[in-house]
Amino acid sequence: MTTVLATILAVFGALAVAYCVWAAIASARTPQGAAAWVVFLVSSPWFGVPAFLVLGRRKVRDYRAAWRESHDLFSIQDTEASRGTLPFEREKTLRALERIGGLPFTGGNEVRLLIDGGATFDAICAVVDSARESVCVQFYIIRDDGLGRRLADHLVAAAARGVKVRVMYDGVGSQKLPEAWAARLRDAGVAVLNPDHSRGPTSRLEINFRNHRKTVVVDGDVAFVGGHNVGDEYLGLDPQFGRWRDTHVEIRGPVAGQIQAVFAEDWHWASSESLTDDLPWEAGDATDPENATLAALVPTGPGDPIDSGSLMFFTAITAARDRIWIASPYFVPDTDIMSALVSAALAGRDVRILLPSTIDHYLPWLASHAYFDELRATGVRFFRYCDGFLHQKVILVDDDLAAVGTANLDNRSFRLNFESMVFVADGAFASDVERMLSDDFVQSDELISALVDQPLHIRISSPLARLWAPLL
């Protein structure tokens, strides 16, 4: 009997491994990802099979099906009426970004940089206080600390005025958020949604797909997008990190409506509740439409039929004629991004990558060392920010195109997270971003040492960490 049972288990295990190997090869979008899973599954099947079932799925279950069941919120907006004239020299690039994100570049926007947490949350709270109809809040991390309670106070006050307030947060990013924080808001009439809870136990099989978006939309007309989450460390109050260097943008105009539509898309998928009739969809134009800014939201995520996150970065990098500057807390590129950076550097572009010197997640930090030598040899320059922890996600292309949002320069943002980046095709805004990043470079040290010059444990473990790049 024991022999028979052992044989059955062995056959079952072999079939499970074979199925997972086939699924990994069939569904992985990169050879590196497929190879990493095959090696793991064959060498450690008892660990590899459960890990693949939880972490290896490449698409979010039913995301697009759920969205198709709802109304097409994007058609509600008068996007054609507000569509801006694309500059001839950037038309192909902007068209590509439109197709990647599914949303058009529109005129009639005002976009303002918000540097660091104090300016960001002062602006957010002030606009929430002015809300008349609706407030939509979405963050990856919300903490029940000073900033978390401050934001809650403003949301409760808005709900007391009769404003419809909705809050959505990621179940993994906000796993330490106590239920009491959400209960207080619910008692005040605020709708609070944790997708991991609302979608039931099967959502645990999608734990590797996270909603990394950080947005606030008020009345469908004013929106905020960027790198800040809700926690005291984002105000620079955590001594482990010191100053928290981050960037948000405030947008007024049609792009705010695009951001609200993506919020509604996420809300509908998580709860099956359509917000079509519950939110204002007539986004107002900026004060001076003749001089207003051309912009678009580029949302990306594992529910897309293409590798939208990686393609977004690839498009920006290959569009550069003179320079491409990227600030990101993590650097774990795929082969396409590596090739794009190398090509830009070999063509004489000013290619700079700004990273933090402070470590918050060790494995991605370790893996990044395995890429530096190869890219520096072609002319790509790397800098470590030294005046605190750098967490901003910013792209600057030449002197007329810039982006701020939530996407990191790593495989997780490329393929596993839902992200949002606001692209702005405007010389004045690009100039503001240039000044901001130039100040950051002054506070940074350029990386010039090779991997062979690093401590022994980094020399040994960095190439090994790179093997996990498809999951980092």
**Domain span holding position 172:** 63-92+105-291
Last residue of a domain, one of 256, 291, 326: 291
pLDDT of residue 202: 44
Report how far apart, in Å, the C-alpha atoms of 468 and of each of 39, 205, 356, 415, 465 are: 11, 20, 21, 14, 6
Decide which of 231, 262, 291 is a domain's last residue.
291
Within a domain: residue 97?
no
* C-alpha to C-alpha distance for 437 and 325, rounded to whole angstroms: 8
Q: What is the pLDDT of residues 323-356, one digit of tens each?
A: 999 999 999 999 999 999 999 999 999 999 999 9
> pLDDT tens for residues 88-97?
688 999 999 9
In a domain, 300, yes or no: no
Structure tokens at 20: 């997972």
Question: Going by C-beta distance under 8 Å and a sequence separation of 6 or more, which residues neighbour residue 275?
Answer: 73, 166, 264, 267, 268
Q: What's the number of domains the chain is made of?
A: 3
Identify the pLDDT of residue 195: 80
Cα(116)–Cα(180) distance, integer angstroms:
28
My answer on whether 286 and 358 are in the same domain is no
Ranges of residues in the chain whose predicted pLDDT is under 50: 68-71, 78, 80-81, 200-202, 204-205
Same domain flag for 318 and 282: no
Other CB atoms within 10 A of residue 213 CB: 25
Q: What is the pLDDT of residue 63?
A: 56
Sort strands 215-218 and 222-226 into parallel, antiparallel or unpaired: antiparallel
Let me know whether 27 and 111 are in one domain.
no
Q: What is the CATH number of the domain that holds 229?
A: 3.30.870.10
Q: What pLDDT does 285 receive? A: 55
Phi, psi dihedrals of residue 214, rounded to the nearest 5°: -135, 90
Could you give the maximum distance between any two Cα atoms of the chain, in Å?
Answer: 83
Element housing 124 (H / E): helix 116-129
Assess whether 75 and 38 both reside in one domain: no
- In angstroms, the CA 207 to CA 421 distance is 23
User: Per-residue pLDDT tens for 23-58?
Assistant: 767 666 666 667 666 776 676 666 566 766 666 555
In a domain, 405, yes or no: yes
Q: Are strands 394-397 and 401-405 parallel, antiparallel or unpaired?
A: antiparallel
Residue 302 domain-assigned (yes or no): no
- Show which residues are catalytic: 212, 214, 219, 391, 393, 398
Taking the CA atoms of residue 262, residue 264, residue 266 and residue 268 in that order, the dihedral angle to the nearest 10 degrees is -150
Residue 216 belongs to some domain of the structure: yes
Count CB-CB contacts under 10 A for residue 90: 18
Q: Identify whether residues 321 and 452 lie together within a single domain.
A: yes
Q: Do residues 128 and 270 both lie within one domain?
A: yes
Domain closes at, from 229, 264, 291: 291
Residue 295 structure tokens: 């912009």
Tell me the C-alpha distance between 432 and 441, whole Å. 14
Which residues are within 8 A (CB) of 431 and not within 5 positions of it... i.e. 6 or more apart?
399
Q: Are both 67 and 188 inside the same structural domain? A: yes
Query: Would residue 100 count as lying in a domain?
Result: no
Rounded Cα–Cα distance for residues 90 and 94 (Å): 6
Where does residue 144 fall: left (phi above 0), alpha (psi -120 to 50 degrees), or beta otherwise?
Answer: beta
Q: Do residues 50 and 154 both lie within one domain?
A: no
286 in a domain, yes or no? yes
Q: What is the DSSP string of 126-192?
A: HHHHT-SSEEEEEES-B-SSHHHHHHHHHHHHHHHTT-EEEEEE-TTTTTT--HHHHHHHHHTT-EE
| Same structural domain, 285 and 368 | no
Please tell me whether residues 169 and 226 are part of one structural domain: yes
Q: Report the alpha-carbon distance of residue 303 to residue 61 in Å, rounded.
A: 8
Q: Tell whether 126 is covered by a domain.
A: yes
**Same domain for 316 and 218:** no
Check whether residue 357 and residue 449 sit in a common domain. yes
